[in-house]
Amino acid sequence: MVLASILAAAVLMTTPASHSDTAPRVAIGQGMLVGRAAEGVAGFRAIPYAAPPVGPLRWRAPQRPEAWQGERDATQVGAICIQPPSNGDPGVGPLPMSEDCLTLNVWTPQPWGDEPLPVMVWIHGGGLNNGSGTAALYDGTNLAKRGVVVVTVNYRLGRLGFFGHPALTAEAGDEELVGNYGLADIIAALEWVRGNVSAFGGDPGKVTVFGESAGGVMVTRLMISEPARGLFHRAIVQSGLGRDKGTATFRTLDGSPSLEDRGTAFAIAAGLPPNASVEQLRALPAERLLTPAPSFYGGDLMVLDGHDGGGLIGENVAPAFAAGLEAPVPLIIGANSAEFWWMKPSDLSPYGALDDPMTAEERSAFLAAYGGQDGYDAHVLSDLVFNEPARHLARLHAANGHPTFLYRFDVVPESNPEPSGGATHASERPYVFDNLHTVGRPMGERDARAATAMADYWATFAARGDPNGSGRPVWPEFRAERDRLLEFTNDGPVAGPVPFAERLDLVEAHYDRLR
């Protein structure tokens, strides 16, 4: 599809729509919004939280959005950010797509009372290459029915969101942001929430950030980012890594290979000279930035930019938690039981197998713990990338004196066509949003019960900083000296010790040796 036609289609979204007098209206600092009400929830979509990052604003920090006159139609979702084809991922919303994509969506119970409601801000996954806050999977209606205001966010992706080049560094100088544009977008969205969510009945002092996969990674980055401090008050990390070494590695702007080195190599491959100017970079068609797709696990999209000037991240996540530098907020963290069951460690990255650093003695111990090569191939990647890192960050956060709740998701629908042996990566999302109807195949009564329980735990956590409430099994607070979690199973939530702890202990010892 030609990008120009996609951008032209985006113009249709700005056409004023006619509204009845009963349509929900909200006045914010930018102007009047007219939304749509359904099932006791008012929805407002495609709200700009920053200026369009186009032309001279490509690869710049997000700028304040402009105001508008009159009423703005907020009934249709906005454009998704520039991204390659999603191969059917339900976490990607409908076309059009555009660089003008920095919008968010709000769902709020209607009417709301005098008591401000807790706020939940969703950060989508997709390897920082794909995804959007506009997907039907992330519709906030059913969560909002639980007495929360739900916000979903678009942020810049791929090379438009995470990119370095010497010309951009020179332009930025010592004061402006370089590299971490997508993360800066999320922070700008949280600043918008702080300034505007009260107009929707939300409490700007009770904001929960939650995200899955790369969105969970962004939550962990928010936890250690000084500019994000105070913009949220609880955090939920769903399958969000947690070990920078050996999983996803930040690339510094002056390291080797640096983000600038990668950007220079890409620009040359795109036909630009080695000393390309910012004007030449910004003249590249957006569709050219999609190929070849940058690698999330190879480090193309992970930026450690320091706290000087416009920097957002000064340390890798695990060391920052170990030093007690993370946000002192209640945390839910966990992973799924069979995350990447179809992949071996050698499949994860073009820069070498994830288990290459293992010694012969370690590999022998791992094979024994996993019951041989087949069990190792099926489960070690999930443990190396997700399960042990989640336990590791939970231990660190709890040791620092902050409320921590660890989970494992192991709900598998009877209609699941995959021989996964557990819950695959991202399969918890329709349960969290209580949107089982978006799965695309029959979901049973036990799935409905699991979705009710999970969404209730999440909403209660947003309200109280503790997921526990009446009528549900008690979710034990995680203690550094006592590993207990809540496991979401086909038979319901069950509290108990961390499953397969001996395997995770081997992973932990392996990472400790590599430090």
213 included as an active-site residue: yes
Q: How far is CA 225 from CA 1, 261, 445, 447, in A?
A: 38, 24, 41, 36
Of the candidates 260, 326, 339, 428, the residue annotated as catalytic is: 339
For the chain, helix (H) and strand (E) counts, in that order, are 15, 16
Q: What share of the chain is helix, strand, coil (3-state, %, to 5)?
A: 35, 20, 50
Q: How far is CA 293 from CA 24, 369, 500, in A?
A: 41, 36, 35
Query: CA 230 to CA 191: how far, in whole Å?
Result: 10
> Which of 290, 296, 295 lies closest to 6, judged by CA?
290
> Which of 177, 506, 215, 214 lies closest to 362, judged by CA?
506
339 included as an active-site residue: yes
HSE (side-chain half, CA atoms, 13 Å) at 27? 2
CA 404: distance to chain centroid? 19
Of the candidates 98, 132, 213, 295, the residue annotated as catalytic is: 213
Of the candidates 425, 427, 428, 510, the residue annotated as catalytic is: 425
Backbone φ and ψ of 513, nearest 5° = -65, -35
> Which of 147, 30, 45, 37 lies closest to 106, judged by CA?
45
Burial of 274 (0-12, 13-18, 19+ CB in 10 A): exposed
In the structure encoding, which two tokens stand for residue 186, read together? 């999320």
Q: How far is CA 204 from CA 230, 312, 459, in A?
A: 10, 22, 16
Q: What amino acid positions are annotated as catalytic residues? A: 213, 339, 425
